[in-house]
Amino acid sequence: MKKHYHNKGFRHNTRSRFPGNNRKPARYAMSEVDLIRIIEYSKQSNTTNVEEESYLSINTFEDFHLNYQLQKNIKSKGFVSPTPIQDKTIPAIMSGHDLIGQANTGTGKTAAFLIPLIEKISKNRTQKALIIAPTRELAEQINSDFRSLAYNLQLGSALLIGGKNINSQIKELQRNPDFVIGTPGRIKDLINRRVLVLSVFNNVVLDETDRMVDIGFIKEIKLFISLLPKFRQSLFFSATISRKVEEILYAFVQNAITVSVKKTDTCKNIKQDYIKINKNQLKVDCLHDLLIKDGFEKVIVFGNTKRGVQKLTDELVKRGFKAASIHGDKNQNQRHAILEKFKKDEVSILIATDVAARGLDINNVSHVVNYELPETYDEYIHRIGRTGRINKSGIALTLVNY
């Protein structure tokens, strides 16, 4: 559906005060030349591989012999057949093996570990699961998915994240939940307060471990591993495995099955391109012209700083766009409320910093726009992975100077 904004042709004079007006030299490691080469290569790859066969699941969800209510919940979420990561990991987890899973973002990874763990713990209430995620948003998303998949199974969860009342979380832990889902900082805080004891968890998931290492949580993760029971089922998920990630990996899993559905760094269903901006053109005007085009229905725009993201949001709102931002200066309740509006299409444009947007899992994002260059190639891959999720197509655009 085409959007209608007032003052579409209006241009504010923002050259002197607005972020991204090409007045300062780039300070980021990835150059525009490097990124253009990456995008051009992606175009060639997509052209030469258009006849590549899509993955066909070996199993159906019925083949996993899950209990009736869980099967019903899976259908209620609209899952038709397992994604590749689900097809390969669910049988391995249900057989009791430790697991190393590698997959691109947006592949259905969360359900790949939640479904077998819910099945396992619903049958044996002495089992408990600890799930550690790098960001508050991802932890909230996992908890939301857990609640829908565990509906009517009498399983409880506690969500442990910063930005929320810690006393309420302590009360949740006192209820002896079956699943504890949290971020490293808050988990460590509750361990230090002696209200969270990791030795009771015989099922542990480290999700997006590479992101946790990038953010700087490697010491916390090593501490958590030292506090876990020796006999446990350990599930390890990471898009990439660097040397630092390997330090965690080999201390965490034992005789693990490795599952990888990551053939390339970017999904084939994400069309990548770049938009050139000349010296006489304002970057915000270029973004404006993009956003009023047909098809830009649900867009995530990435900037590099909290201040720049907020200024860009304010400018787009002035121009009549339904825009909102998430960044580190907003508290968790504000970020949660904005994400809910974006999911419900009450807001059509979300402007975000990399840290705030890590782990976002939002359906039907039509476009990702890199308003400012990402710092690294990994950050670029993370950004564009917000679109084209679970076999849907998406478009990723980067604004570059020339």
| Start-to-end CA span in the chain (Å) | 33
Residue 291 has pLDDT above 60, yes or no: yes
The pLDDT tens digits for 313-339 are 999 999 999 999 998 888 878 888 999
What angle (nearest 5°) sits at the alpha carbon of residue 96, between those of residues 93 and 102? 35
Which residues face 259 on adjacent strands?
Answer: 101
Residue spans per domain, the chain: 32-50+268-401, 61-260
d(CA 402, CA 275): 10
> Confidence band (pLDDT; 50, 70, 90) for 29?
low
Name the phi and psi angles at 47, rounded to 5: -70, -40
> Confidence band (pLDDT; 50, 70, 90) for 167?
very high
Residue/partner pairs of 254-259 with CB below 8 Å, 24 or more apart: 254/98, 255/97, 255/98, 256/97, 256/98, 256/99, 256/100, 257/92, 257/97, 257/98, 257/99, 257/100, 258/99, 258/100, 258/101, 258/102, 259/85, 259/88, 259/89, 259/92, 259/99, 259/100, 259/101, 259/102
pLDDT computed for residue 80 by the predictor: 87
Residue 229 has pLDDT above 90, yes or no: yes
The pTM for the full model equals 0.69
Which range (3-17, 233-247, 359-373) has the least confidence? 3-17
Residue 207 has pLDDT above 70, yes or no: yes
The reply to whether 32-50+268-401 and 61-260 are identical in fold is yes
Which residues face 157 on adjacent strands?
Answer: 179
d(CA 148, CA 136): 19
CATH number of 61-260: 3.40.50.300
Residue 78 has pLDDT above 80, yes or no: yes
Residue 264 has pLDDT above 60, yes or no: no
Superfamily of domain 32-50+268-401: P-loop containing nucleotide triphosphate hydrolases (3.40.50.300)
Bigger pLDDT: 31 vs 82 = 82
Residue 181 has pLDDT above 90, yes or no: yes
Bigger pLDDT: 287 vs 41 = 287
What is the average pLDDT score of the chain?
A: 86
Beta-carbon-side half-sphere exposure of residue 222 (alpha carbons within 13 Å): 10
